[in-house]
Structure 1
Amino acid sequence: MKKIIAMLLCLCLVFSLAACGKKDTGSDGNTANNGATTGAEATKAPAKDKGGVDVGIVLPTKDEPRWLQDQARFEDVISSTDYTVEVLFSQGSSANEKTNVETLIAKGIKVLIICAQDAAAAAAAVEEAKDAGVVVISYDRLITDTDAIDYYVTFDSVAVGEAMGKYLVDNATGTGNPLYLYAGAATDNNAFLFFEGAWNILQPKIADGTFVIKNSSEAIAAQDKATLTRDEQSAIIGQVTTNWDFNEAKSKAEAHLTSAKAADKGKCYILAPNDGTSRSIADVFAADADVTEYFITGQDAEVASVQYIIDGKQSMTVFKDTRTLAADAMNMAIEVIEGKTPATDATYNNLVKDVPSKQTATVVVTKDNVKSALIDSGYYDASEFTGLK
């Protein structure tokens, strides 16, 4: 009897050790991670339990409201799909961006949607993805100097700049109006496209004396040219870049107004490249005693800038409905995964190839149409603002 009991105890011990040595695996045989998400900057959507990631998304930073809005819109779209998606933020670092892309490649993505921190620096990262058999969709900002981009989903960036220029022209009277030019980052191809669009509209009115440029010697040197070369654009943007940074925009505006004479102020017209920089620049102009009135542009329809528009501190913004942009990008990714050819309606040259592109329409928002454009459309809730009429 004792021998039987001993044998039973030995068998129990063997089975216990075997059970302890067995890992929890998913249906594909890979070690399961119990749904954990790697990285503090990652967002995963509910998806089929099939292992890996289908669509990887890399956005530039969490520090600008615009990209948080994009994240929210992506998540809305993602929630209605059956595909596995992971969103990573590069936090303003091209090195982080490359690491993010490599992380997603390792997870088996089929499609990469990427909004580059630096349009040229991102080329190496997307080339790795392309070499791994991943279809690459450049999102909002066109990645340059590479043939590894398959598609580009964007707002019509030249048209955005043209809308900004048109607003300034439409609100100008007489001649000799002070014009202050600001631009985005020289590392961002969109900054060139926005500036190109604005120049298309502003240059004829600079040439006829309606506007007088006050803060860029490079722009003054090129003011008789209806079309600028890339090098000419680069020289101007190099002088008036904000690098998409609120503090840099504020410092540049302060330096420009400090050096300007009272006669160079009065009623001012300001080309600001986006909402964040627009608010910073507007605050500087509003605080200058010699500035009697100003008209200033913006884009992205950020909550803070919409409130500035309602309060009369910012003149306009170009509303780019990220719900539509995100949906266009995700639907394109889904079509790729399903073996379909996505529909495109334009091409953009990235200095190496003409990239098939899908463009999304924009809307100019002023104090007069905030409610119809942003509230009635369901983009924002009226409770997010004060003084809304």
Structure 2
Amino acid sequence: MFKRRVVAQSILVGVLSGCLGWATTVQAQDKGLIGVAMPTKTKGAKALVIASIDGTTLSNALQKAADKGIKVFAYDRLIVGSKNVDYYTTFDNFQVGVLQAQSIEKALGLKEGKGPFNIELFGGSPDDNNSFFFYDGAMSVLQPYIDKGKLVVQSKQLGMNKVSTLRWDGSVAQARMDNLLSAYYAKKRLDAVLSPYDGLSIGIISSLKGVGYGQAGQPFPVVTGQDAEIPSVKSMLRKEQYATIFKDTRELAKVTATMVDDVLAGKKPQVNDTKTYNNKIKVVPSYLLKPVAIDLSNYKKELIGSGYIKEEQLQ
């Protein structure tokens, strides 16, 4: 997840400098800030775009920016606990979770009344506001099946306080999957795993392989993911991971750059959401892009056809 944010930021820098002509500077700090400042032709920055690693540690820095009249854009991850966030650009994170859960729903035939099936749930990092939207979106689809007994969480581990994965660490997810398999699935089959991110999915799949999934007579559970990372797309081609979510960071960069350019030109930028993203101090005006569910039926069209991934990268 961190890697995708770094890539997304580098794309944004290219759009701002190459297409709009803004001078850009990039700073990284151990506290979790990747910032892109657009200096004016005179002195000082007029806008600050922040792709935050930890969205909870920036209040003092943002107050200093506000004192200087600098407009602040949260990029991909919402910055919480500060009134000094002017705009937010991201994908529809609730819909990301919905699409992940719908992949499970489709693969298991839940709409057709099939079941019961065993499922385990994984969440993202608890310091990432997006994680809660992913989880809530997924559970809006899965919870009714759990309530009806069509999906069974043998561990009974539900809720972000129990299923979160700090720092989106794949090794942490793998260790938790090891424990779940040992404690609850020694004599039961696991049919699905809700994984919110490809980096976790790879670790989860490694754990599953370790106890025999993927061999004859023991197919992999339905494992979801997010970000269409190359290792996970390759895993899909091997019929290990079932699906991922494509979030075109090129489009996110374009939207953000356009909004920045509008603000600095004295115009009101276009937003399409003014209700969803409350950072615990204020609702931040946002622009949400649409995510796309990817499986073997459409990966060529969506990923290769769009130029996001080259076919030779999947060899």
TM-score by length of 2: 0.88
CA 206–261 in structure 1, closer or farther in 2 if over 3 Å, else same: same
Of 100, 107, 110 in structure 2, the residue corresponding to residue 164 of structure 1 is: 100
- Alignment of structure 1 residues 100-179 onto 2, 5 Å: 108-173=44-109, 174-179=114-119
Task: Select which of 9, 13, 22 maps to 1:83.
Answer: 22
Q: Whose Rg is larger?
A: 1
1:358 corresponds to which of 287, 291, 303:
287
Asked if structure 2 preserves the Cα contact closer than 8 Å seen for 1:181 and 1:216, the reply is: no
**Superimposed CA distance per residue, residues 267-294 of structure 1 (whole angstroms, 9 cap, x where no aligned partner):** 4211111111111111211322366431
Once the two structures are aligned, what percentage of the paired residues are identical? Answer: 32
Q: Give the aligned partner of residue 191 of structure 1.
A: 131
Matched, 1:338 2:277: no
Contact 1:297 1:314 in 2 (8 A): yes
2:165 alignment partner, one of 242, 267, 271: 242
2:310 is aligned to: 381
Aligned match of 1:319: 246
> For 2:5 and 2:244, how far apart are their aligned partners in 1?
16
Correspondence for 2:185 among 253, 258, 261: 261
* In structure 2, distance between residues paired with 1:216 and 1:123: 37
**Structure 1 unaligned spans of 5+:** 1-59, 220-235
> Which structure carries more relative contact order (alpha carbon 8 Å, separation 6+)?
2
- What does the per-residue CA deviation read over 1:32-78, in whole Å, with 9 as the maximum and x for residues that have no partner? xxxxxxxxxxxxxxxxxxxxxxxxxxxx95xx2x1343144224413
Q: Name the SS of the counterpart of 1:293 in structure 2.
A: coil
Q: What is the rounded CA distance, in whole Å, between the counterparts of 1:308 and 1:129 in structure 2?
A: 44
Following TM superposition, by how much is the alpha carbon of 1:262 offset from its aligned partner in structure 2, in angstroms? 2.8
Q: How far did 1:328 drift?
A: 0.7
Deviation at 1:311, TM superposition (A): 1.6
How many pairs align?
300
**In the alignment, does 2:11 pair up with 1:73?**
yes
Q: Distance in 2 between matches of 1:72 and 1:111?
A: 17
Q: CA deviation at 1:123?
A: 2.9
Normalised by the length of structure 1, the TM-score is 0.72
Distance 1:238 1:76 in 2: 38
* 1:89 maps to amino acid: A
**Residue 181 (structure 2) pairs with residue 181 (structure 1):** no
Change (3 A) 1:345 1:256: same
Does residue 310 of structure 1 match 2:248?
no
Amino acid at match of 1:300: D
Could you list the runs of 5+ residues in structure 2 that have no partner in the other structure? none
Residue 278 (structure 1) aligned with residue 197 (structure 2): no
